[in-house]
Amino acid sequence: MDSFLIKGGVPLHGEVSISGSKNAVLPIMAATLLTADTCVIRHVPDLSDVRFMGKILESLGAEVKFEGDTVTVRAAKVKGFGDYELIRKMRGSICILGPLLSRLNQASVSLPGGCVIGTRPIDLHLKGLRALGAVLDISGGYINAKTKRLKGTTVFLGGRVGPTVLGTANIMMAATLADGVTVIESAACEPEVTDLANFLVSMGAKIAGIGSPTLTITGVKTLHGTDHEVIPDRIEACTFLCAAAATHGEVLVHGARAEHFAAVLDKLREAGVKVERKAGALLVKASKSLKPTDVTTLPYSGFPTDVQAQFMALMCGAKGISVITERIFESRFMHVAEMARLGAEISIEGPSAIVKGGRPLSGAPVMASDLRASAALVIAGLAATGSTQVHRIYHLDRGYERMETKLKKLGARIDRVDGE
């Protein structure tokens, strides 16, 4: 397996452009199953997860073409039976269930996998589809769904830790071709859900309340092809902001939409980091000394769980105690033990990590456990003195496009080391 070899202690300087959003493009690719026409998706990041979704669509009978940052999908003829081994490996693959069921009135999709960061049940997906009239059975690792015809209804998608993002996407896609009107209460409001809704509207769907907790979808008979540009990846933007601040650098981040992560910007400024808007970009300037800052992850528009690990790496450089509380996933502190190898002083108390910052970090070999933990270890390695080797970076390749290339342009001393 490949790894990153980082020689830290160098401030990041320069400009970086943010790629398209992974969490937006995966359900958008799934939504192309709703029409037999050609769909063109632009500003698509070249990620292993995106390529994987392309293989899943091809296994269902769709024609998929990757060309630069553009993906063209034509699902003229599709089957409702997904490849078990392909689908089970990626969490985002569950998004094909709603479109397949809505278009074909039947679907068999394997239960999904993904990063091991805690329990991520699909009960709200199933609840929503049953409310629309689907008959569901889970056996042999498959979700088997069928219906005579999906019918509009009102469904509540609030869960234990807030609205379900993928569940909202799945039910919204299923409802576009259902008979009548579907109202989703407690819908997720993430920018990625909004981007999917806008994609569906450009296909001819009728959706009201986009960006709000109440979505009203009036079913139509057919959807047509479209041409759509994916929003920038807010998590990648936040990762580079944290990296620049942690290394006491100055970086202009192009394509970062401040309105998509206001909670993160608030906490960065609270920590003493200067962030300025510059005509479609954000300029981040680190102060000489960081201030300890408490953070609690919450559903959008609160502080995102996907930035928790990166912010923790940043707080390792702040003199004093920071308390970082995880309210979304119960197993999202697996990076803590690896950060300790670099000299970080962090203790876990229930859902909170107590970070005693200000101790200099020093390089060491570390092992990534999931996508965002990998990013946090890279940030810590960039801030540390000496050499850090981050193993299992295949996690990073799932969600960050050419991370080492972008960091090198900012002056980082980072190289990809081929695995055996």
Q: Provide Rg for the chain, Cα atoms.
A: 21
Selecting among 115, 238, 242, 316, the annotated active-site residue is 115
Strand, coil or helix: what is 25?
Answer: helix
- 181 phi and psi angles, rounded to 5 deg: -110, 130
420 CB contacts (<8 Å, ≥6 apart)?
none
- Between CA 285 and CA 22 the distance in angstroms is 27
Task: Say if residue 316 is exposed, middle or buried (CB neighbours under 10 Å; 0-12, 13-18, 19+).
Answer: buried
- Between CA 373 and CA 333 the distance in angstroms is 8
The stretches of 60-158 forming alpha helices (DSSP H) are 84-87, 97-104, 123-131
Taking 3-state DSSP, the helix, strand and coil percentages for the chain, each rounded to the nearest 5, stand at 35, 30, 35
Please confirm, yes or no, whether 316 is among the known catalytic residues.
no
349 CB contacts (<8 Å, ≥6 apart)?
none
Q: Which element (helix H / strand E) includes 262?
A: helix 262-270
Alpha carbon 413 to chain centroid, angstroms:
26
Alpha carbon 11 to chain centroid, angstroms:
27
Omega before residue 202 within 30° of 0, cis: no
Place of tokens 């799932």: 398
Beta bridge partner(s), residue 413: 7
- Quick check: 102 and 134 in contact, CB under 8 A? no
Residues with a known catalytic role: 115
